[in-house]
Amino acid sequence: MTQAPTLPSREERLLLLEKVGKSLLAMPYKSWNFGDSTGFEGILEAGRLLKDPTYFSFANGWIRAWASRPEPFRRLDCTAPGVAMVEIAHETKDKAIIDSLNLLAAYLMSRTKDRGIYDTWESLCLIPPYGGEELPSNEAKWLANPPGGTCIDCLHFDPPFFTALGKETGREDLVTVGVEQAHAYIDALQKENGIFDHFFMNGVEGTWAPGWGRGQGWALLGMMDVLKNISLNHPGRKKIEDASTKLIYSMIKLQREDGRWWCVVDSERSGEEGSTAGFMATGFARAIKLGIVDEAIVKPAMIKALAGVIADTDSAGELQNVTAAVMASTRKSHYEFTPRGFSVPWGQGPVALAICETDSLL
């Protein structure tokens, strides 16, 4: 295994951030879909570090337009970039955005639950396995008529949004819901080794797809956001801190010498995946700032992950080896054969976030 690449200078990192930021502004967003959370958070963070108001104006325009007619709501509105939306509402003091965010929160809390978690899918996004592995008969039946279910990605959507909006508006009920949702995701999907499975299906025992790399990123950043938004003495805090540190130390043990992770973190045959290192560099930095990890252990891993994700970014600022929208499958091979080579918010956003979040620690 090769050693971690050399970390570029701050000047070089900021030049790269400009390229990554411009790519984020050019993404074909739809309100809303998976990846928008890291996309818009990356936009806001890039603008802040680059001291360029263009980024905030872009995000504000999107959110303000959405707030002018947020309804009718649909299931995928759970993927709205809630943390970024609350930040924009805070900065602009725009009542229309706050009113629409309260409507969105009410809609999201009207969904049914399984295992204590608001249902994401009425019919889970199961697809035939990438790589073509034949399904056992029971799994083929689920694919033909998918039950509802929820994926780990959504730990980055609902809990941070509820806690951020609750903090902004003084609604303790929303903070409580957000913490409860974070706890439910931890209980449902985190394994004994600290790593999260990808999804569960309603009415089907167990959880599925262990070790998907980017999924660990969604989980870690979601938990970091919740911790940032709740008080230090909140009774639900310790459980989230413990789950976060367990995940972080497990991921450090699985980190390659070159700072990266395999697409499925324990499967070398799954190959390269660019986004996981960006997620981890960001999450490790946030955990250090929150004071919940041993900086002497986590900071070197953060620097290696940052160097790795930068090295995977080409001269145009595009992160390489980013896998497609994974959807879901009951077969591990699906995650090992996911197509890659996409310029998407869940790739470009984490690069921007990693550069920005680590800046004050370097």
Give residue-wise pLDDT tens across range 132-174.
999 999 999 999 999 999 999 999 999 999 999 999 999 999 9
Q: What is the pLDDT of residue 1?
A: 55
**Per-residue pLDDT reduced to its tens digit, 257-278:** 999 999 999 999 999 999 999 9
User: Which tens digits make up the pLDDT trace of 292-307?
Assistant: 999 999 999 999 999 9
Q: pLDDT digit string (tens) for 58-80?
A: 999 999 999 999 999 999 999 99
Percent of the chain clearing pLDDT 70 (strictly above): 100
Question: Which DSSP letter does residue 116 get?
Answer: T
E strand intervals along the chain: 113-114, 117-118, 149-151, 197-201, 208-210, 262-264, 267-272
The span from the CA of 108 to the CA of 125, in Å, is 19
Instruction: For residues 196 and 303, give the distance between their C-alpha atoms in angstroms, rounded to a whole number.
Output: 23
Distance of CA 342 to the CA centre of its chain: 17
pLDDT band at residue 26, thresholds of 50, 70 and 90?
very high
Residue in the block written with tokens 């919740």: 226
- pTM for the model stands at 0.97
CA distances from 188 to 155, 170, 209, 211, 218 (A): 11, 29, 13, 15, 15
Q: The tokens of 259 are what?
A: 């700072």
DSSP bridge partners of 200: 150
In sequence order, the 6+-apart residues with CB closer than 8 A to the CB of 105 are 161, 162, 165, 174
What is the residue-averaged pLDDT of the chain?
Answer: 97
Phi-psi region of 301 (alpha: psi -120 to 50; beta: other; left: phi over 0): alpha
- Per the CB < 8 A criterion, the answer to whether 16 and 355 are in contact is yes
Sign, Cα dihedral of 53, 167, 157, 310: positive
**pLDDT score recorded for residue 137:** 97
What's the CA gap between 300 and 257, in Å, rounded? Answer: 11
| pLDDT for 138 | 96
Instruction: Return the closest-CA partner of residue 252 out of 220, 218, 209.
Output: 220
